[in-house]
Chain A
Amino acid sequence: MNVVSLVLQAGLRDLSRNRWIVAYTISFLGIAEGLFWFGGTGPQVLLSMLNLVLLVLPLVALVFGTIHVYASREFVELLLAQPVPRRELFAGLYLGLALPLAGAFLVGAGIPFIVHARHGATIGGVVALLGAGVGLSLAFAAIATWIALFTDDRLKGVGLALGAWLAAAVIYDGLVLGAAAAFGNYPLERPLLGLMLANPVDVARVIVLTQLDVSALMGYTGALFERTFGTALGTGIAAAALVTWCVIPLGLAGRRFLRRDF
């Protein structure tokens, strides 16, 4: 067995027994099940879950991921002292963090939709929600890994992780709205669509909303949004943007891991 799969297996074993990951899984399971229980139809539950996913998932991936990488520091040093290449070790460590996070979300949010399949959520919508959630988990786990490798100061690292979450999940939309208001006399549709792709949280929102036929609710850019993303090509572009949001931070984190002193 190669180094990547060995280290990944150890990460999976460790985090699948981690109480926070278990609680995270149960929370998604409980909330989705609760929404169905209180009479929500499939699309309503999907929309409610989308808001939860966009807010909670980046927060958990960033904060838990950063703390986990710091906590693994001495174990990583022990593994680095073995005759294994850094590149493979990094791949195993990243996947050992990102896959349990993504898996916890998949299990927690996915099971209720399977159980309540008859409540009318479209397969496309469920797949988009689960796919966007997995993409967000992988992207923010990569950002968390990069932050933890960027600074040795744990307090600063967790602060940066919280700052990244605030920026992506809260502040960014406010800034975009402010820009739209300030430059309302200009044709802003295309720049705004570009800004959407520049934030993984917005990209995930786009991927799900295009499958739910509620894009008109988005108001100002709704029409253009639907015209641009309401096609297979549009969803593909958004999915590619989310993949890019996984690859770039992962590349930066990997580069740092290969070059840094431990």
Chain B
Amino acid sequence: MITLDTIRKRFGALDVLQDVSLALRTGAVTALVGPNGSGKTTLIKIVLGLTRADHGALHVDGKPADEAGAYRRAIGYMPQAAHFPVNLRVGDVLDLVQQLRPGEAVDDDLARAYDMDGIRDKFVGTLSGGTKQKVNAVVAFMFRPSLLILDEPTAGLDPLSANVLKEKIRAVRREGRSVLITSHIMTELESLADDVAFLCDGRLRFAGPVAELLSHTGGRSLEDAIAGLMRSDRAGRRAAVPASGAVPLSPWLAPEPKGAV
């Protein structure tokens, strides 16, 4: 279980994240959505320890995230685009990541599904964008961490490969592990996500189950609901109403009391 407690981050004069508190449910797929520049990537980077929050706390399985980064054993990460060194072979990349995480249980389902053995000797620089994205996915799913963070995971994948990946995400959820996923393809998220966290202008406008969002906004689909949220957010800003009051947070997403696991 990963919890973020009143996370704040400012870059210069820009408040990128403002008091974001979020708890990712165990065994659920949470879709992190929001317009461009809403703070999604910064939030993901804070969870990964790539960016440090100015304020707030990150807890992994009840313990504060350590500076040395050992807590990242609980996390698998798939960035939006794969940029591996072009002169390394696919096998070099896979072996490197595997050796950086010794002793972790290996999950080779996706590697087999994407036939990594067939391209192990190929140089990364010779791969197509889609094949690089498959390697990217295999790296993220190589172990069995309790949380997978997937940033636009199907971007660049052909329909069959995207389908394989989505099936793998569902399998991860069935195993009781959590997934945090971002995508601009709402239909894709709708087919995968149990919960939604909607960020806008660095504030968490909604966080809760998809069904709750649909009933709250009256939307027929996730796309409708998110579009409705964005419209109400814009209208709220035009009317100079404090945007934080746009949609209430679900009770289960309130910051946990100190000392609670």
Interface residues of A (CB under 8 A from B): 1, 3, 6-7, 10, 13-18, 71-75, 77-86, 261-262
| In contact, B100 and A6 (Cβ under 8 angstroms) | yes
Query: Can you name the residue of chain A whose Cβ is closest to the Cβ of B46?
Result: A261
Minimum CB–CB distance for B93 against chain A, Å:
8
| In contact, B45 and A75 (Cβ under 8 angstroms) | no
Minimum CB–CB distance for A18 against chain B, Å:
6
Query: Can you name the residue of chain A whose Cβ is closest to the Cβ of B149?
Result: A81
| In contact, B51 and A75 (Cβ under 8 angstroms) | no
Per a CB cutoff under 8 Å, which of B45, B70, B81, B83 touches A262? B45
Known: A81-B48, A81-B50, A84-B100. A74 touches B79 (CB 8 A): yes
Segment of B31-39, B84-92, B180-188, B226-234 in the binding face:
B84-92
| In contact, B79 and A78 (Cβ under 8 angstroms) | yes
| In contact, B101 and A74 (Cβ under 8 angstroms) | no
Roughly how many angstroms separate A82 CA and B76 CA in the complex, as a whole number? 8
Interface centre among A81, A83, A262 (most CB of B within 10 A): A81
| In contact, A18 and B87 (Cβ under 8 angstroms) | yes
| In contact, A14 and B72 (Cβ under 8 angstroms) | no
Roughly how many angstroms separate A86 CA and B139 CA in the complex, as a whole number? 20
Q: Is B96 an interface residue (CB 8 A)?
A: yes
Minimum CB–CB distance for B105 against chain A, Å:
14
Per a CB cutoff under 8 Å, which of B69, B73, B139 touches A78? B139
Cβ contacts B51-71/A at 8 Å (1 or 0 each): 110000000000000001111
Per a CB cutoff under 8 Å, which of A10, A72, A80, A85 touches B96? A10
A-B contact pairs, 13 of them (CB 8 A): A10-B85, A10-B88, A10-B96, A14-B87, A17-B123, A18-B87, A72-B85, A74-B82, A80-B49, A81-B48, A82-B97, A82-B101, A84-B69
Minimum CB–CB distance for A232 against chain B, Å:
42
| In contact, A14 and B51 (Cβ under 8 angstroms) | no
| In contact, B50 and A75 (Cβ under 8 angstroms) | no
| In contact, B52 and A261 (Cβ under 8 angstroms) | yes
Q: What range describes how many residues of B lie at the interface?
A: 20 to 34
| In contact, B73 and A83 (Cβ under 8 angstroms) | yes
Roughly how many angstroms separate A85 CA and B68 CA in the complex, as a whole number? 5
Interface residues of B (CB under 8 A from A): 45, 48-52, 68-73, 75, 77, 79, 81-88, 92, 96-97, 99-101, 123, 139
Roughly how many angstroms separate A72 CA and B85 CA in the complex, as a whole number? 7
Residues of chain B within 8 A (CB-CB) of A3 are 100
Per a CB cutoff under 8 Å, which of A10, A81, A86 touches B77? A81
Minimum CB–CB distance for A128 against chain B, Å:
32
| In contact, B100 and A79 (Cβ under 8 angstroms) | yes
| In contact, B87 and A261 (Cβ under 8 angstroms) | no
Minimum CB–CB distance for B189 against chain A, Å:
22
Residues of chain B within 8 A (CB-CB) of A81 are 48-50, 72, 75, 77, 79
Residues of chain A within 8 A (CB-CB) of B139 are 78
Query: Can you name the residue of chain B whose Cβ is closest to the Cβ of A74?
Result: B83
| In contact, A86 and B85 (Cβ under 8 angstroms) | no
Beyond contacts A6-B100, A78-B83, A83-B70: 12 other A-B pairs, Cβ-Cβ < 8 A, are A10-B85, A10-B92, A16-B87, A17-B87, A17-B123, A73-B83, A74-B83, A75-B83, A80-B49, A82-B72, A84-B69, A85-B69
Roughly how many angstroms separate A48 CA and B64 CA in the complex, as a whole number? 59
Roughly how many angstroms separate A74 CA and B132 CA in the complex, as a whole number? 13
Residues of chain B within 8 A (CB-CB) of A85 are 68-69
Minimum CB–CB distance for A78 against chain B, Å:
6
Roughly how many angstroms separate A140 CA and B51 CA in the complex, as a whole number? 28
Query: Can you name the residue of chain B whose Cβ is closest to the Cβ of A17?
Result: B87
| In contact, A83 and B69 (Cβ under 8 angstroms) | yes
Residues of chain A within 8 A (CB-CB) of B87 are 13-18
Residues of chain A within 8 A (CB-CB) of B81 are 74
Residues of chain A within 8 A (CB-CB) of B50 are 77, 80-81, 261-262
| In contact, B100 and A75 (Cβ under 8 angstroms) | no
Roughly how many angstroms separate A261 CA and B17 CA in the complex, as a whole number? 14
Residues of chain B within 8 A (CB-CB) of A80 are 48-50, 69
